[in-house]
Structure 1
Amino acid sequence: MAIHFIKLTDPNTSVVEVFNKWENDPALKVLTRPNKNKSELERQEKITVDDLSKRLENQHIFLIYLDDQLIGEMNYMVDPSHLYKKEPGTAWLGITIGESIGRGKGIGYAAIQYLEEQIKESGMKRIELGVFEFNIQAQKLYQKLGYKEIGRIEDFTFWQGKMWNDIRMEKFV
């Protein structure tokens, strides 16, 4: 089992197809995007190569491979407007392990360590992220990696018939 990471620089249709699959997977979309209500949760997303290319203007995206299979993606943005603490030089981190074969094997842990190194090499000292309060597994992963809770945004996302908070966490690298 070989894990490797490739920076996305030139999106193509095969990568976009996989991203669309993950974005519309009912088990994943509750974990990766906030939804204000049931209809938002049920909506289907469709990104294009152009959409993904546009994202690269503001995000550094890395593809996660297990052997030769694309199983996930991780990314960071620099000083986005949605930071909880508006500290210049902060990276906002995101990760999706889209394929079930990649979950529970330490791949997320290794991927975040790799992304933290990329962030550190780019000169940033602080990372912030958000995790929905019902995503206990991700919270444990981030805590294990040294992230600390810095606040909560109430009623942030809809799931299982109710609104849930977003837990904001930070780490200095």
Structure 2
Amino acid sequence: MNIHFEPLDINESLAQQMANWYNDPEIAPFVHPTFTESEPHHFTAQDVLDQHHPNPKILKFLIMDDDYPIGEFSITEDFQWLLGPKEDAAWISICIGEKSYWGKGISKITMKTIEDICRTLGFNRIELGVFENNHKAHQLYLRMGYVQFAKTEHMTYSQGEWRTDLRMEKYL
């Protein structure tokens, strides 16, 4: 594996690949909340293209193995839904969309890179949300020094039940 990160430069082919990730039944419960007792939104390539307009407060990256995209992450400044202190805080999100890369340490490598980028940008705190049923991600964040400081009950409807969003933070 040759894991590296590139700024996300969206195109239709990549948008379709990302829509496939978001719609995968093993991934969907962890990446986008569903606020009603209904089936999760089915993403199209156009939905993904619409979400990726340039925004100076959001840095988006692809997680690559050589020249093949396997996931994505973002770092957001001034995220409107931060629950902790907002000054010098970054909101992050990560998705390893290619399941054949799960369990190979890619998320840990990516999280270390995210922390390095956040330090370089002058952030002193990272906040993230993880749904309670995403046990592997939750355990990774704990091992990396993130601490749960809040939770939002019934945040998302997934797999036939309401799930809690756990908010975690780490001071850099």
| TM value normalised by structure 1 | 0.91
Aligned to 1:3: 3
Aligned to 2:124: 125
Aligned residues: percent identity? 36
After TM superposition, the runs of 4+ consecutive aligned structure 1 residues lying more than 4 A away are none
How far apart are residue 160 of structure 1 and its match? Answer: 2.5
SS of 1:95's partner is strand
Aligned to 2:43: 45
Structure 1 portions without partners, runs of 5+? none
SS of 2:27's partner is helix
Aligned to 2:165: 166
Aligned to 1:102: 101
Q: Distance in 2 between matches of 1:168 and 1:100?
A: 25
Aligned to 2:111: 112
Q: Distance in 1 between matches of 2:68 and 2:30?
A: 22
Q: How many residues align?
A: 171
SS of 1:104's partner is coil
Q: Which one is further off, 65-74 or 162-171?
A: 65-74
Q: Distance in 2 between matches of 1:35 and 1:55?
A: 25
Note the alpha carbon deviations across 1:110-167, whole angstroms, 9 max, x for none: 0111111111101110000000011111001101111000011111111232111100
Q: Distance in 2 between matches of 1:139 and 1:2?
A: 25
SS of 2:38's partner is helix
Aligned to 2:16: 17
RMSD of equivalent CA atoms: 1.6
How far apart are residue 52 of structure 1 and its match? Answer: 4.2
Distance verdict in 2 for CA 1:64–1:151, change over 3 Å: same
Contact preservation (8 Å) 2:3, 2:64? yes
